[in-house]
Structure formats: structure tokens, C-alpha cells
């Protein structure tokens, strides 16, 4: 069992890494970190002493004064090194640096010099060190106006604001899930390397990113249409956009009912992408689900009976409750990294229609069980 701690555990990449490590509980043990530890040397020492691996993600990315960014990031590295020395740690330290290392700015300078300080520690202490040069990272739950332009654009569009482009440059991008996989690969490898360039997995002009996100807003948020997904990058971008929507107030979305003397017709979903459609019946009092997905797009449509659909973002406590009634058919879509369930809260059988964007593969189900 490898004991892993993450400085910056509560940040964008840190949250995704922490949650993903939880999927491999037979291989990794997570050592909890709190940002307050950097202000308390005793707690920082206790944290470091427990770790076989430390992933140093804690850093400041934005501030009105670039000197504050530089000073803060160097100070964090120096405090970590001091703690490594005091505890005589031989941990494998993985350091998150940036392609901005070679740019003429104090953030890039802080990352480069911080990596060099860690290299010196590893040589002196006999520890393992891996410096990872990382391109622009995007994905769900990033902070707008801080983590990435994709986070900013998605948040603004989802809240009916108008994004603007400052510089329409080319961006080399990596999805946060792909970055986490790269980090896990280096942890499993266990051998330090002073510099590893993490290759970007996609490239796009800022204006093209905005066009795609605008299309997701128009088709999906405004009209409930699942857009065309042409490649893995577009799937990741669409799933990123969905997580910036005001889910609690957007769902459930009621269907249009077309009724005549023969009965009622309801259109469930419009798709510009394939997938799998199924339905279930559920007897009163029974709950289905209590699992989450990390890549799949899924829609629950209640067409008969009464249901309670619950969602909770992994790593948080807040539960979203949606009551649906087949007399007014409606749907709720499942964001990635939200565990979800559906319960029959009525007195008759519950009929639910399910759509998911990929065929079920028992060898790669992307289904992880956790109670809401």
C-alpha cells in the first residue's frame, strides 16, 4: 500500500487526483492534507512523515502583484523541503510545474526555481523527485477567472453572461483526467526524473473553444439536445461545460406532452450522438443506482409513477433532491463525478427511460458505487 499525500488537495487538480486515488483503495492510501499545515510546522512534519509519495500541487496562480505569486510559491517549496529534511523523509516527491517556466513572468520563474530547489533536496537527501512540466489543464470544477479560460467561458455561458476573448492564441491543452493518469503512471513507476514534459492531448485556438462551448450552451442547456461528440477532446469539453450549469435549478426539465383521444406522446431526447437506450420498472420503496461515472453522459426520464432522484458531487456533502411525476414527464441528466440514485416514492410501479452515450462494457464500465 503506497501512502500518498497531496499538497493543494482541495484545489482543482488536487481534488481530481484525490478522488481518483480513492478508486484504487487496494493500491493507494490517501494521507489527508490541509492548507493550514503550511502555517504549522508540526502538522506539516506529521503529514510528511506519513507519506511514501508527496504530490506538490499547492501554488498561487493569480494575484494582482506578480511578486506575491513568486514569493508565495518559493516559500511553499522551502517549507516543504524543510519538513522533508526534519523528518529525514525519502519520499518520492512529484512537483507540478508549468510550460510557463520558460516565459518571462514571475509565475513561471517561481515554478522553475521551485523545481530546481526540489532537485537539490533529492540529490542531498537521497529522495526521489519527479518534476512534471504541464500544459494548460481544463476539466470540471475548475475556478473561473483562475484555473483556465475554459472554466471562465463555461461559467459565463452557463450563467447567461457573454465571454470575451483577450488574445485569440493557440492553446495546448490536457484534460484533468488525463493529467491525473500521467501522475499515477509516475507514482507507479517510482523512479524520479528531474524533468518530464507532459504532452498536451489537444490543441485549439481560443475562438474555436468558445464556438464549441457556445454550441453546447445553445443545444444542451437551452434545448436539451445532446450535441455531436466527434472525439475524446469534445467529450471532455462537453462534460466540463455541464458541470458549470446551475444543476439545482435547471433540473428537472419537463417534457412537452402531445395528447389526443388516442393518448399521449412525449419526445424523450434529441441526439447528435449515439449511445444506448433502456428502461426499467421499479416497485414502490426500492432505490436504484448509488453510483457515479467519470466520463459518461446519462439521462433519467420518468414517464410513469413518482420518483426521487438524488445527486451528490463526490467529495462533498450537499445532496440535490429532484421529485419527478409521470403525470408531468421530466428528465434529469447526471453530471460526471456526481453519485446518483433513483427511488420509487409512489404507490405504483415506476417507469424510467434511461439514455447513456456509450454501450455498456463490462470490462470498462466507468461505474463506481458510492451511496448518495
User: What are the pLDDT digits (tens) for 55-100?
Assistant: 999 998 888 898 999 999 999 999 999 999 999 999 999 999 988 8
CB 338 within 8 A of CB 328: no
Is 0.85 topped by the overall pTM? Answer: yes
- Which positions ≥6 away from 361 have C-beta within 8 Å? none
Q: What local confidence, expressed as pLDDT, does residue 99 receive? A: 85
What would the pLDDT profile of 308-345 be if each residue is shown by its tens digit? 999 999 999 999 999 999 999 999 999 999 999 999 99
Instruction: Please give the order of strands across the beta sheet that includes 170-175.
Output: 136-138, 170-175, 202-205
Alpha-carbon distance 46 to 92, whole Å? 16
Alpha-carbon distance 5 to 89, whole Å? 13
* CATH match for 247-369 among 3.40.190.10, 3.30.1370.60, 2.40.40.20, 2.60.120.10: 2.60.120.10
Q: Homologous superfamily of 2-134 in CATH?
A: NAD(P)-binding Rossmann-like Domain (3.40.50.720)
What residue ranges of the chain have pLDDT lower than 70?
none
Q: Where are the domains of the chain?
A: 2-134, 247-369
- Which positions ≥6 away from 165 have C-beta within 8 Å? 206, 207, 210
Amino acid at each position: 500500500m503506497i501512502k500518498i499525500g497531496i499538497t493543494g488537495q482541495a484545489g482543482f487538480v488536487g481534488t481530481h487526483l484525490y478522488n481518483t486515488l480513492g478508486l484504487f483503495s487496494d493500491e493507494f492510501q490517501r494521507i489527508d492534507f490541509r492548507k493550514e499545515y503550511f502555517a504549522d510546522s508540526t502538522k506539516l512534519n506529521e503529514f510528511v512523515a506519513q507519506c511514501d509519495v508527496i504530490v506538490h500541487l499547492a501554488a498561487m496562480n493569480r494575484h494582482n502583484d506578480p511578486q506575491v505569486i513568486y514569493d508565495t510559491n518559493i516559500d511553499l517549496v522551502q517549507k516543504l523541503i524543510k519538513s522533508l529534511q526534519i523528518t529525514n523523509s525519502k519520499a518520492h516527491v512529484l512537483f507540478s510545474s508549468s510550460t510557463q517556466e520558460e516565459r518571462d513572468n514571475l509565475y513561471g520563474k517561481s515554478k522553475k526555481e521551485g523545481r530546481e530547489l526540489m532537485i537539490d533536496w533529492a540529490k542531498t537527501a537521497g529522495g526521489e523527485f519527479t518534476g512534471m512540466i504541464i500544459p494548460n489543464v481544463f476539466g470540471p470544477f475548475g475556478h473561473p477567472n483562475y484555473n483556465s479560460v475554459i472554466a471562465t467561458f463555461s461559467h459565463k455561458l452557463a450563467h447567461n453572461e457573454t465571454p470575451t476573448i483577450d488574445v485569440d492564441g493557440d492553446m495546448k491543452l490536457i484534460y484533468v483526467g488525463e493529467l491525473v493518469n500521467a501522475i499515477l503512471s509516475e507514482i507507479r513507476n517510482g523512479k524520479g526524473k528531474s524533468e518530464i514534459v507532459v504532452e498536451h492531448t489537444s490543441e485549439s485556438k481560443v475562438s474555436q473553444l468558445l464556438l464549441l462551448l457556445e454550441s453546447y450552451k445553445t443545444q444542451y442547456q437551452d434545448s436539451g439536445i445532446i450535441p455531436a461528440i466527434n472525439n475524446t477532446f469534445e467529450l471532455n469539453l462537453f462534460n466540463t461545460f455541464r458541470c458549470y450549469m446551475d444543476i439545482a435549478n435547471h433540473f428537472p426539465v419537463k417534457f412537452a406532452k402531445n395528447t389526443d383521444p388516442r393518448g399521449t406522446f412525449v419526445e424523450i431526447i434529441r441526439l447528435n450522438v449515439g449511445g444506448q437506450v433502456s428502461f426499467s420498472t421499479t416497485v414502490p420503496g426500492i432505490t436504484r443506482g448509488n453510483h457515479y461515472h467519470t466520463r459518461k453522459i446519462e439521462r433519467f426520464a420518468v414517464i410513469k409513477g413518482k420518483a426521487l432522484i438524488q445527486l451528490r458531487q463526490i467529495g462533498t456533502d450537499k445532496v440535490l433532491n429532484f421529485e419527478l411525476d409521470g403525470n408531468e414527464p421530466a428528465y434529469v441528466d447526471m453530471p460526471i463525478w456526481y453519485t446518483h440514485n433513483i427511488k420509487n416514492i409512489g404507490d405504483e410501479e415506476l417507469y424510467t427511460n434511461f439514455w447513456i452515450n456509450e454501450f455498456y462494457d463490462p470490462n470498462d464500465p466507468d461505474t463506481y458505487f458510492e451511496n448518495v
